[in-house]
Structure formats: structure tokens, C-alpha cells
Amino acid sequence: MKTRVVGLLFLLAALLLAGCNAPIPRHIDVCQIDPDSPQQFSLRTPTGRATVITQFFPDDKDSISLKRTDGTTLTIPNPICVTTKVSAAIVPLYPDMDVLLLVQHDQGTGYDSDELRILNPREGEFVMLSVTNFSDESTPLSRIEVSDNFHDNRFARERELLERIKDDYGYQSEHMLIGHETDIQYAAYFWRQHNANVTDGILKWQHYPGKHPDNGSVPSVIKDGDVTYTSYFKGGVWAYDQKRDESVLVFFPNDMYGWADKLLLWKHQLLVCPSGEDLALIDMRTGRMRRVKSPLYSNAIQKFSVTVTEDALILNDNTVLKFESQDK
């Protein structure tokens, strides 16, 4: 840890000498804030130096105090949730003044977040930008949130710094995905872009060379000659043609919790049974998908069953899915 801090201090010194347009160190991490004891940081200010004291309590009295050399003290309500990792660094952002950068990392079911906050000692305010990424493979774009004062002209340098370092914390925009439609890691995103609103129509599929990645546990799998259909937990339904050695993302649910519990195949008709969503009947030759409501399936999946006839699939709630004429 000591070596990492010393190396980072050299980088911060280089930043001061080169001016505010110099590269910012990746994942600034001078020290870890300990929630169990106060932490102090010394900042350069226009009138000398000031001491920043962070104090964390198990109630609503958490605070950050700025003690100036003129004897005045400014107490700021602490904006940080101390149950998660927090890193701190002093950044020489102004010729006559340092700022305190705090980075809070948080993660939970389905998300990963970094909240970046800069304390401006002259104004006694935090400027914040947070980057949140989601585990849903169809949502690769980051969610950005900023503080109310983010666009205030007083904090132009803080805003510029936060905008520049957000890429180091996993920020991904729609612009970054331009030209990546044939990249299999973004298959779900582009499937939704093209097909999310299709209820009765032709799907736009992208064919990817090789076998698709194994994306976790498999609720259902069907093999039809050289083609294997696989549904994934919190994912979509893939078709892999072993003879052609290519993959197609056939279907992706509206919500990642609507993964297909069951797949059924009759001739070229693939019935996808996503949890809590409308059924999807897909003609694998034409690419036509029809979404069909089935109250029984949505509310009592354990009692759900299908009967195949010569011209239709009949669900046990009497829903009838007629095949296209060429399949009869």
C-alpha cells in the first residue's frame, strides 16, 4: 500500500506541474477512510492551509469539518455511506488551492457503482458525479448522476476533472458502441435495440462466428439436428449451429428476470416461455416472432403444459398458437 501511495503522489505532483489538462491517475487511491476513527487531510487554500476532518458515526451526525488557519470552521454534512469502501486523495486542481477527492465504491445485486466527490475548500461544497453499471447484459450503458451544483460555473475545474476520470470507473456511453454491432459481447443490447418492440413481426438477427459464450446456468436446452437452443438464467436464448459454427441470439426478454424457463420446438417453430412475460412463438426459418399472452403461464408456471397438434400448439389454459401455413 505504501509503495502505491508514494507512486500516486508522484503522479499528483506531475499533475500540478503540468496543469489541469494533464492525465489524471487511474483509480486514485491514496488512502482508505476508516469509518471507526476520524481521518484528517491537509489542504492548500488561498489563505494558507486548512485541515479536513472526516467523522463517521452510526447515526445522522456524520460530518466533514474544514478547519481553516484563520480559526474558522466549516462543518459539512457527510454525503458518504460509510458501510462501503471509500478512498481519498488530495488533488492540486488550482494554482493556489488543493481539493479533496473522495471515491466511494458500492455494488449489489445487478449493479456496480462509483461515486466521485470533490470538496472545494474555498466554497465549502462537494461536487459529485456517480457512474453506475448494470449486470444486465442488454444494458451496457452507464447511468450518470450529478449533484445539483455540477454545472455551476464556480466548479468548472471540478466538473472537468470528474468528466475526465469517469472513464476510469467503467463509464460507457451509446457513442462508444457505434460500430460494435457485430461484437458478440453487445449482442443483447443490439437485439433489444432492433427487436424490443416486436410483438408480431420479423426479428432482426445478427449471426456471430463461433459458439456463443456460456452465460451461467441453463434452465432449458433443446437440440435439433446441428442446432442447439439454449436459454440462460438472467439472459436470452441462443441458437448454435455446429455445422456452420455460428451463433444467433434468437430472443432476449424485456427484463433480465424474465429469462426463459422452458423451450419447446415443433418443426421450425420455437416456443420461448419467459418468466412473467408473454410467450414468444418464433418461426426459425422466417424469423417471425409472435408474443402471446398466457395468464396461466404467467401466474402458475408449475401447472403450465403444451399440447402439439398438426397445425397448432394448445396451452392448457386453452390458448391456441396457430402455425404458419407452410408448417401445416
Q: Which of 23-37, 88-102, 199-213, 298-312 has the highest mean pLDDT?
A: 199-213
Q: What is the CATH number of the domain that holds 189?
A: 2.40.10.480
Q: Counting beta carbons within 10 angstroms of the beta carbon of residue 112, is it exposed (0 to 12), middle (13 to 18) or buried (19 or more)? A: middle
User: What's residue 106's pLDDT?
Assistant: 80
The larger pLDDT score, comparing residue 226 to residue 23, is at: 226
Same structural domain, 172 and 188? no
List C-alpha distances in Å: 257 to 93, 154, 278.
Answer: 44, 44, 13
220 and 288: one domain? yes
Place of cell 488512502: 31
| CA 117 to mean position of chain CA atoms | 20
47: DSSP letter:
T
Query: For residue 326, is pLDDT > 70?
Result: no
User: Grid coordinates in use for 116?
Assistant: 466521485
Are 247 and 316 in the same domain? Answer: yes
134 within a domain of the structure (yes/no): yes
Question: Is residue 55 in a domain?
Answer: no
**Range 66-94 average pLDDT:** 70
200 in the same domain as 298: yes
Q: What is the domain extent for residue 151?
A: 2-37+82-176
Same domain, 210 and 164: no
| Number of compact structural domains in the chain | 2
End-to-end Cα separation, the chain, in angstroms = 70
Whether 69 is covered by a domain: the verdict is no
CB 129 within 8 A of CB 150: yes
How many of the other CB atoms lie within 10 Å of CB of 300?
10
Both 168 and 192 in one domain: the answer is: no
Measured CA to CA, the distance from residue 253 to residue 232 in angstroms comes to 11
Strands 269-274 and 279-283: antiparallel
pTM of the complete model beyond 0.95: no
Q: Which of 121, 155, 176 is the last residue of a domain?
A: 176
Q: How far is CA 104 from CA 80, 220, 239, in A?
A: 7, 39, 41
Question: Which residue type does 162 have?
Answer: L
d(CA 304, CA 301): 5
Give burial (CB, 10 Å; 0-12/13-18/19+) of 9.
Answer: middle
Q: Where are the beta strands (DSSP E) in 78-152?
A: 86-94, 97-108, 111-120, 125-134, 143-146
Residue 148 lies in a domain: yes
pLDDT score at 200: 92
At residue 7, the pLDDT reads: 35
What pLDDT was estimated at residue 26? 40
**Triad 215, 219, 225: Cα angle to 5°:** 85
With a CB cutoff of 8 Å and minimum separation 6, the contacts of 286 are 202, 324
Instruction: Tell me, yes or no, whether 96 and 235 share the same domain.
Output: no
Shared domain check, 190 and 93: no
Same structural domain, 227 and 320: yes
Q: What is the pLDDT of residue 327?
A: 47
208/313 same-domain check: yes
Q: Is residue 45 part of a domain?
A: no
Amino acid in the structure at residue 31: C
- Single out the residue in 122, 141, 176 at which a domain terminates: 176
Residues 148 and 195 both lie in one domain: no
Domain contains 67: no
Decide which of 128, 151, 176 is a domain's last residue. 176
Q: 228 or 175, which is more confident?
A: 228
Residues 101 and 235 in one domain: no
- Tell me if 65 is assigned to some domain: no
